[in-house]
Amino acid sequence: MANMSSQDKLSHDLGMHTEQLTGRTQETFFDLKDDGGFGYHDAFDVDFNKRAEIDASNMGAKEINARIRELMTEGHGTIVVKNPGAKHSLAVGILNRLNLIIEGSLGYFGCGLIDGPNIRISGRVGWSCAENMMAGTLVIEKNAGSTFGAAIRGGDLVCKGSVGSRTGIDMKGGTIIVGGDTGAFSGFMMQRGRMVVCGNAGKNLGDSMYDGTIYIGGEITDLGVDAVPSELTDLDKAWLTRKLTMYGLLPEKGVNHFQKIVAGKQLWNYDNLEPTEKKLIL
């Protein structure tokens, strides 16, 4: 401050000064010999053989989710939820290994943000089931609503029945498997991952998809913008056979009839604009 000119001082007083920032880019090191186990640092130590049941008939969604968490803290690795009554937002945010069995149906946003558990649902699910799923398996025995697996990033999401529209919208990884049909705009803005539909697909399949792969076993009403057919390779067939067998959904006639849809890559325009922008700046 002492060496500042009067003009600098005036500017400084007006708040127009620059400040020298110190610090460095974050660098984190870790030792490969660190024994962090197989779960997150604060994961609950659960035993798959320790089983508990929740009768959810007279409980609210928040209460049910808190109870699931409480049972995990007690070491229960298998939890059965009875009478879920199609309540919304059940079994969300589970970042742990766990066998969760839901006997009944869920409302919307069920099992969102899960990272690790294996969940089986004997009934149906509403909109946006498994939204932002990170890891684990989720198997639904009946049908699912729209935006099934929205923005999923990892894991296996399986619906043995049919699903609504916009399945896997904005998906960034993982696998979505549908035993029946899927609605319009499935795979909309898909960025990565795999979607397998054993039945038919509605209008605008894979519209504006950026990357990833869609396999359809039935009829496709029509393809969306920049979604194009591709060759089904032996690797594709092997992968499809393995994955569908895992969930008991392998068609009797095998997988040779599946159609493969990928991005035509004509929408990758961002990079083309960049040099123009740079020239404008320079």
Distance between CA atoms of residues 125 and 176, nearest Å: 15
Contacts to another protein from residues 222-281, by CB under 8 A: 233, 235-236, 238-239, 242-243, 246, 265, 268, 271-272, 274-275
Stretch that binds another protein, among 103-111, 154-162, 177-185, 216-224 (CB under 8 A): 154-162
Please count the residues of the chain: 282
Contacts to another protein from residues 159-218, by CB under 8 A: 173-175, 192-194, 211-213
Q: Does position 137 bind another protein by CB under 8 A?
A: yes
CA 161 to chain centre: 19
Q: Does position 29 bind another protein by CB under 8 A?
A: yes
Q: Does position 19 bind another protein by CB under 8 A?
A: no
Stretch that binds another protein, among 15-23, 38-46, 122-130, 248-256 (CB under 8 A): 38-46
Q: Which is nearer to another protein, 24 or 41 (CB)?
A: 41
Q: Does position 30 bind another protein by CB under 8 A?
A: yes
Are 220 and 202 in contact by the 8 Å Cβ rule? The answer is no
Residue 47: how many other CB atoms lie within 10 Å: 10
Distance between CA atoms of residues 154 and 147, nearest Å: 16
Among 173, 261, 195, 178, smallest CA distance to 225 is for 261
Residue 280: how many other CB atoms lie within 10 Å: 7
Q: Please tell me whether residue 157 adopts helix, strand or coil conformation.
A: strand
Binding residues for another protein (CB under 8 A): 26, 28-32, 34, 36-42, 48, 97, 99, 116, 118, 134-137, 153-156, 173-175, 192-194, 211-213, 233, 235-236, 238-239, 242-243, 246, 265, 268, 271-272, 274-275
